[in-house]
Amino acid sequence: MDAPAVPASTSAREPFDAADCCTLSPDFAELKDKLATYLRPDDIERVEAAYHFSADAHAGQFRISGDPYISHPVAVTDIVADWHLDPQALIAALLHDVMEDTHISKQEIAERFGKTAAELVDGLSKLDRIEFRSQEEAQAENFRKMLLAMASDLRVILIKLADRLHNMRTLHCVRPAKRRRIANETLEIYAPIANRLGLNNLYRELQELAFEHKFPLRYKVLSRAIKAARGNRREVVSKVLTAIEERLPQWGISADVKGREKHLFGIYRKMVEKGLSFSQVLDIYGFRVIVRDVPSCYLALGALHSMYKPVPGKFKDYIAIPKANGYQSLHTTLIGPYGTPVEVQVRTAEMHHIAESGVASHWLYKEDEKTLTELQQKTHSWLQSLLELQSTSGGAAEFLEHVKIDLFPGEVYVFTPLGKILSLPKGSTPVDFAYAVHTDIGNRCVACRINGDLMPLRTELRNGDQVEVITAAHANPNPAWLSYVRTGKARAQIRHFLKNAQQEESVALGERLLNQALRPHGLTLGQISAFAWDRFLRDRGVRSKKEVFADIGLGKRLPVIVARRLAQAQDHESGRPNVIKPKPAGAILIRGSEGIAVQLARCCQPIPGDPIIGTIRKGQGLEVHLHDCAAVAKLRGDRGRWVDVEWEVGEDRLFDVTIRVLTKNARGVLARVASAIAEEDCNIQNVSMDNEQGVYTALNLVLQVRDRMHLAHVMRGIRRVPEVVRIGRVKSDGRTT
pLDDT digits (tens, 9 = 90+) for 554-584: 777 777 778 878 887 777 766 555 444 455 5
C-beta of residue 576 within 8 angstroms of C-beta of residue 633: no
pLDDT at residue number 577: 52
Q: What percent of the chain has pLDDT over 70?
A: 77
Instruction: Please return the burial class of 597, using the count of CB atoms within 10 Å of its CB with bins 0-12, 13-18 and 19+.
Output: buried
Task: Kindly state the average pLDDT of the residues 6-31.
Answer: 54
Residue 232 has pLDDT above 70, yes or no: no
Are residues 519 and 609 located together in one domain of the fold?
yes
Are residues 22 and 161 located together in one domain of the fold?
yes
Reference 405, options 387, 420, 426; nearest CA is: 426
pTM of the predicted model as reported, rounded to 2 decimal places: 0.59
Q: Determine which of 134-148, 193-207, 475-489 has the lowest per-residue pLDDT on average.
A: 134-148
688: β partners: 700
Task: Kindly state the average pLDDT of the residues 24-46.
Answer: 86
What CATH code is carried by the domain that includes residue 53? 1.10.3210.10
Are residues 278 and 135 located together in one domain of the fold?
no
Are residues 530 and 662 located together in one domain of the fold?
no
pLDDT at residue number 129: 43
pLDDT at residue number 448: 92
Task: Kindly state the average pLDDT of the residues 412-435.
Answer: 85
Q: How confident is the model at residue 11 (pLDDT cuts 50, 70, 90)?
A: very low
Residue 234 has pLDDT above 80, yes or no: no
What CATH code is carried by the domain that includes residue 232? 3.30.460.10
Last residue of a domain, one of 319, 346, 365: 365
pLDDT at residue number 15: 44
Q: Determine which of 225-239, 265-279, 451-465, 659-673 has the lowest per-residue pLDDT on average.
A: 225-239
Reference 714, options 677, 675, 685; nearest CA is: 677
Residue 263 domain flag:
yes
Task: Kindly state the average pLDDT of the residues 450-460.
Answer: 89
Q: Kindly provide the b/e burial profile for residues 683-704, where b requires at least 16 CB atoms within 10 angstroms of the residue's own CB.
A: eeeeeeeeeeeeeebbbebbbe
Reference 158, options 75, 79, 45, 55; nearest CA is: 79
Longest CA–CA span in the chain (Å) reads: 107
d(CA 57, CA 104) in angstroms, rounded, equals 8
Residue 12 domain flag:
no
Last residue of a domain, one of 331, 365, 399: 365
Residue 22 has pLDDT above 60, yes or no: no
Residue 36 has pLDDT above 70, yes or no: yes
Q: How far is CA 283 from the centre of its chain?
A: 33
Residue 192 domain flag:
no
| More confident: 412 or 575 | 412
Task: Kindly state the average pLDDT of the residues 124-147.
Answer: 59
| More confident: 660 or 21 | 660
Task: Kindly state the average pLDDT of the residues 84-112.
Answer: 88
Strands (E), 677-723: 683-692, 696-705
pLDDT in tens, 486-505: 887 888 888 888 777 777 77
pLDDT in tens, 304-320: 999 889 988 888 888 88
Are residues 660 and 699 located together in one domain of the fold?
yes
Residue 469 has pLDDT above 60, yes or no: yes
d(CA 431, CA 460) in angstroms, rounded, equals 10
Are residues 165 and 266 located together in one domain of the fold?
no
The amino acid occupying position 55 is A
Are residues 121 and 260 located together in one domain of the fold?
no
pLDDT in tens, 656-680: 899 999 998 888 888 899 999 989 8
CA distances from 258 to 240, 279, 347, 351 (A): 11, 24, 12, 15
Residue 385 has pLDDT above 70, yes or no: no
Boundaries of domain holding 664: 655-729
Last residue of a domain, one of 592, 619, 647: 647
DSSP 692: E
Q: Is the dihedral of CA 304, 306, 311, 312 positive or negative?
A: positive
Q: Determine which of 329-333, 437-441, 644-648 has the lowest per-residue pLDDT on average.
A: 644-648
Reference 99, options 69, 58, 64; nearest CA is: 58
pLDDT at residue number 305: 92
Task: Kindly state the average pLDDT of the residues 465-481.
Answer: 87
pLDDT at residue number 9: 37
d(CA 372, CA 383) in angstroms, rounded, equals 16
Reference 71, options 30, 104, 116; nearest CA is: 30
Q: How confident is the model at residue 90 (pLDDT cuts 50, 70, 90)?
A: very high
C-beta of residue 133 within 8 angstroms of C-beta of residue 26: no
Q: How confident is the model at residue 12 (pLDDT cuts 50, 70, 90)?
A: very low
Order of strands across the sheet with 341-348? 256-261, 285-291, 341-348, 330-335, 316-317
Residue 425 domain flag:
no
d(CA 455, CA 433) in angstroms, rounded, equals 14
CA distances from 489 to 149, 385, 398, 402 (A): 19, 8, 12, 7
Q: How far is CA 382 from the centre of its chain?
A: 13
Q: Determine which of 70-79, 106-115, 353-362, 579-588 has the lowest per-residue pLDDT on average.
A: 579-588
422: β partners: 414
| More confident: 229 or 418 | 418
Are residues 154 and 232 located together in one domain of the fold?
no
d(CA 420, CA 435) in angstroms, rounded, equals 15
Residues classed as catalytic: 100-101
pLDDT at residue number 207: 93
Judged by DSSP in three states, 266 sits in helix
d(CA 523, CA 581) in angstroms, rounded, equals 9
Q: What percent of the chain has pLDDT over 90?
A: 18
pLDDT in tens, 688-726: 887 665 688 888 899 988 888 999 999 999 999 999 999
pLDDT at residue number 375: 61
pLDDT at residue number 139: 64
Domain count, the chain: 4
Are residues 679 and 630 located together in one domain of the fold?
no
Q: How confident is the model at residue 76 (pLDDT cuts 50, 70, 90)?
A: very high
Residue 541 has pLDDT above 80, yes or no: no
Q: How confident is the model at residue 619 (pLDDT cuts 50, 70, 90)?
A: low
pLDDT at residue number 264: 86
C-beta of residue 702 within 8 angstroms of C-beta of residue 696: no
Judged by DSSP in three states, 703 sits in strand
Are residues 50 and 108 located together in one domain of the fold?
yes
| More confident: 74 or 615 | 74
Residue 469 domain flag:
no
pLDDT at residue number 618: 63
Are residues 685 and 630 located together in one domain of the fold?
no
Instruction: Please return the burial class of 455, using the count of CB atoms within 10 Å of its CB with bins 0-12, 13-18 and 19+.
Output: middle
Are residues 685 and 618 located together in one domain of the fold?
no
Residue 377 domain flag:
no
| More confident: 56 or 737 | 56
Residue 430 domain flag:
no
Residue 175 domain flag:
no
The amino acid occupying position 459 is T
Within 8 A by CB and 6+ apart from 409, the residues are 192, 195
Radius of gyration of the chain (CA): 34
pLDDT at residue number 381: 64
DSSP 68: B
Residue 4: what are its φ and ψ, rounded to 5°?
-70, 145
Residue 30 has pLDDT above 90, yes or no: no
pLDDT in tens, 498-524: 777 777 777 877 887 888 778 777 788
- Listed in sequence order, the DSSP H helices in 308-429 are 349-357, 361-364, 369-392, 396-406
Q: How confident is the model at residue 407 (pLDDT cuts 50, 70, 90)?
A: low
